[in-house]
Each structure stands twice: as C-alpha cells, then as structure tokens.
Amino acid sequence: MSRGWVLAAGIVLLAGCGGGTERAPEPFGTRVATEVLRDALIVTAVKAKLTADDPDSATTLGVGARDGVVTLRGSVRDAAARGRVVAAARAVTGVKNVVDDLRVDPHGPRPRRFVADAALATRVATAYTAQAGLQRVTVTVNGGVATLYGTVADAKTKARIEAAARGTDGIRNVVDRIRVERP
C-alpha cells in the first residue's frame, strides 16, 4: 500500500471521530442578541426609575442584568434607602429577581454637594476673571469654602480676586493661597 493511501485512510478515520452531529461549544460569553438587548433595556429602565426617585443614585449605584436578574451595587445612606432602591428595581417590567449587593454607608458620597461646589467654583472663577482678567489662579470649593491657588503680578490684583471670591453668592469663606510675584 502506498503512503498516499495510508494518509487518506487516516484522514477519513479521524474525520469520523467527531460524531458529525455534535455542535462545537459556544465561545465564553456568547449570548443570543435578543437576550443581551432585553437585559440592556432592563438596566436602562432600572437606572431611569432609580434616577427619577433619587438623582444621586445615578452616580452612587451600579446596575447590571443577566437573564432578567438585576444586580445592584454601590452604597446607600441607610436601610430605608436600600429598601426603596431594591423595591424600585423589582417594580421594573422584565425583572425576575434582584440581587442586593448594596452597602449601607451613612457617610457615603453626596453627589449633589459635589455638583454644587463645582458650580460655585465656576462662578468664583468667572467673577474674579471679570474683575482682574485672566490670571494664573485656580479655585476649589468644598462645602461653600473657596480656596484660591496661584500666582499674580501684584497685591492689587490679589485683593481684587479675593474680593470677587468673597462677593460670590454661596461662598461662606475664602482661603487665600495666592502668591504675589516679586519683581
């Protein structure tokens, strides 16, 4: 028998070992597109409901879904808030179950205050720019306390920037860290 026949016979035998009717396993993470879409719609609906109930939840809570099972992660201020979040998620059409991975943290983040402080910092920067022009000064605000950083050319410019910051509505105090350049 020639080598070619032996090789051909071996290939035919190996090809028959697959059984022919078995399907190859699906790659890890492969799901039917409609299932993925359904879960994405559930996540969107849960996030919309939570945000409507409490706008801060958009930045403090994570929502995931797989096969209609919603998982909630993040932190809430108290047990009552936890109960409201879980109940809101359960009330969304298509949710089969809710996995509660929420932490209760009374000292957790307060996104509204962060947004308010950022808005105040912008207002302070606008005010001192209107009074003293563009400067190498930055401002941060924390709980209504503005801290000014940077360097200016003279004491008169520094005083105008401080006055503009103090005169901005919502600022309770100003911490001055501005340095005057030495000529």
Q: What is the pLDDT of residues 130-171, one digit of tens each?
A: 888 888 889 999 888 999 998 999 999 999 999 999 999 999
Spatial distance between the Cα atoms of 81 and 3, rounded to a whole number of angstroms: 77
* Sheet architecture: strand order including 61-66: 61-66, 69-76, 97-104
For the cut 70, the answer to whether the pLDDT of residue 175 exceeds it is yes
- To the question of domain 33-104 being in CATH 3.30.1340.30, the answer is yes
Residues 50 and 85: beta-carbon distance below 8 Å: yes
For residue 133, CA distances in Å to 83, 137, 142, 160, 169 come to 51, 11, 24, 10, 20
Spatial distance between the Cα atoms of 80 and 71, rounded to a whole number of angstroms: 18
- To the question of domain 111-180 being in CATH 3.30.2000.10, the answer is no
| Domain locations in the chain as residue ranges | 33-104, 111-180
Six token digits for residue 165? 């910051």
Helix locations, 63-110, DSSP H: 79-90
**What confidence tens digit (pLDDT) does each residue in 61-100 have?**
889 899 999 999 988 888 998 999 999 999 999 999 999 9
Spatial distance between the Cα atoms of 61 and 63, rounded to a whole number of angstroms: 7
pTM: 0.49
Backbone angles phi, psi at 61, to 5 degrees: -120, 145
**What confidence tens digit (pLDDT) does each residue in 90-130 have?**
999 999 999 999 999 888 767 777 778 888 999 999 999 88
Side chain identity, residue 64: G
Q: Please check whether the two domains, 33-104 and 111-180, share a CATH topology.
A: yes
Predicted confidence at residue 109, as pLDDT, reads 62
Spatial distance between the Cα atoms of 99 and 82, rounded to a whole number of angstroms: 12
For the cut 70, the answer to whether the pLDDT of residue 18 exceeds it is no
